[in-house]
Amino acid sequence: MQVLHRLPHIKDKDLLVGIETADDAGVYRLSERLAVISTLDFFPPIVDDPFTFGAIAAANSLSDIYAMGGVPRLALNIVCFPKDLGLDVLNEIIRGSMDKLKEADTLLVGGHSIVDAGIKYGLSITGFINPKNVKANKGAVPGDALILTKPIGTGVIASALKAGRLKQSKAVDALAGMTALNMAASKAMVEAGANACTDITGFGVLGHAMEMARGSGVNLVIRSSDIPLYPFAYELVKMNANRPRTLFSNRDFLIKDINISMRDSDLELLLFDPQTSGGLLISIPSDRASMLVRRLKRAGVPATMIGRVVRKEKGWRIMVE
Ligand code: CO
Ligand code: CO
């Protein structure tokens, strides 16, 4: 959030990750071997089915802990709910969420709800990590390979679903992707010794890659043809009505630092598509990258190498081939 940049910088020797580097969560050291990770996310329904929405919201919130390399442990609900809507809908949302929390071995310990015009749901998650394992936007070094652990395209798919331009049955892969936890991916990248990591959400793959480039003081080269897409995302982005507004605000915000040499303007738009519960973007020394991709695939994570880290150069931050 841009408003965060106007807040005063906090200095505390135990605050390992604060708001300066646009990271996924705050990290605070409790002892030499233990730090607490804290994060919060909530949003309006992106799918009609309340159970699925709850599961996606939970997977998305948990992801900010996984992106830092941590283990989630406690969760708090944040609920906005209209007073004229049946509580069975809210029950289903929370049931979907608790299903994912259980999978993540995370305990729901409370929360807060208010009456509001529209539904919004999310969670604040608290997790733990060994301070030496913290993965952040900073840390990527020239020579690293970039690995992405989920396809992209959930923004255009969700808007097509909402408007009835895509049948639910054609979005099964995207829905399964959004409800999939980044747990296995996180564990594998920590064990493999990743240099930096973030998750792909609202700013799209290029927005979050940009945060890593800036946080690490490096430039990135991304091979657009290697980025996996969810089924129908490419067809859907061709229709203007399916393009979320955020896609264009992402592009406007980022474009001055991006050097695009690819020719496919539809694929280009998808690189700015806001993602919900997207995959991890991992920066790892290239000699360990294929080992990590193999390990991720064995764990059922559809990981691919999508680019590399290069030395910082003036005039651009990310080159898209
Ligand atoms: Co995040
Ligand atoms: Co977030």
Contacts of residue 274, defined as CB under 8 A and 6 or more positions apart, other chains included, come to: 154, 155, 201, 202, 203, 204, 244, 246, 247, 250
Does residue 192 share a domain with residue 274? yes
As averages over each run of 10 residues, the pLDDT of the chain (321 residues) reads 63 87 88 97 94 98 97 98 93 98 98 95 98 95 98 97 94 97 98 97 97 96 97 97 97 96 94 98 98 97 98 95 95
Confidence at residue 5, expressed as pLDDT on a 0 to 100 scale: 61
From 77, 102, 132, give the residue that closes a domain: 132
Q: Which ligand is nearest to the CA of 125?
A: 2
Around ion ligand 2, which residues have CB less than 5 A away?
Answer: 41, 64
Ligand 2 centroid to Cα of residue 267, in Å, is 24
From 71, 105, 132, give the residue that closes a domain: 132
Does residue 170 share a domain with residue 120? no
Does residue 173 share a domain with residue 225? yes
The CATH number that applies at residue 159 is 3.90.650.10
Confidence at residue 4, expressed as pLDDT on a 0 to 100 scale: 60
What is the C-alpha separation between 308 and 242, in angstroms, rounded? 30
Ligand 2 centroid to Cα of residue 188, in Å, is 21
DSSP reduced 3-state for 231: coil
Ligand 2 centroid to Cα of residue 124, in Å, is 10
Ligand 2 centroid to Cα of residue 60, in Å, is 7
Confidence at residue 253, expressed as pLDDT on a 0 to 100 scale: 96
The CATH number that applies at residue 36 is 3.30.1330.10
Total residues belonging to the chain:
321
Ligand 2 centroid to Cα of residue 195, in Å, is 20
215-245 burial by CB neighbour count: b if 16+ within 10 A, else e? Answer: bbebbbebbbeebbbbebbbbbbeeeebbbe
What is the C-alpha separation between 63 and 61, in angstroms, rounded? 5
Does residue 100 share a domain with residue 227? no
User: E strands of the chain, at which residues?
Assistant: 15-17, 26-31, 34-43, 71-81, 107-115, 120-129, 144-148, 196-199, 219-222, 258-260, 280-285, 304-310, 318-320
Confidence at residue 130, expressed as pLDDT on a 0 to 100 scale: 97
DSSP reduced 3-state for 28: strand
From 132, 162, 192, give the residue that closes a domain: 132
Does residue 95 share a domain with residue 9? yes
Q: What is the pTM of this model?
A: 0.94
Ligand 2 centroid to Cα of residue 70, in Å, is 14
Does residue 180 share a domain with residue 58? no
* Structural domain span for residue 10: 4-132
Does residue 145 share a domain with residue 116? no
**Which two tokens mark 216?**
């690490």
Ligand 2 centroid to Cα of residue 12, in Å, is 23
Domain count, the chain: 2
Q: How many CA atoms lie within 13 A of 142 on its CB side?
A: 8
Ligand 1 centroid to Cα of residue 149, in Å, is 14
Ligand 1 centroid to Cα of residue 89, in Å, is 27
What is the C-alpha separation between 19 and 22, in angstroms, rounded? 6
Q: What secondary structure letter does DSSP report for 229?
A: B
Ligand 2 centroid to Cα of residue 321, in Å, is 28
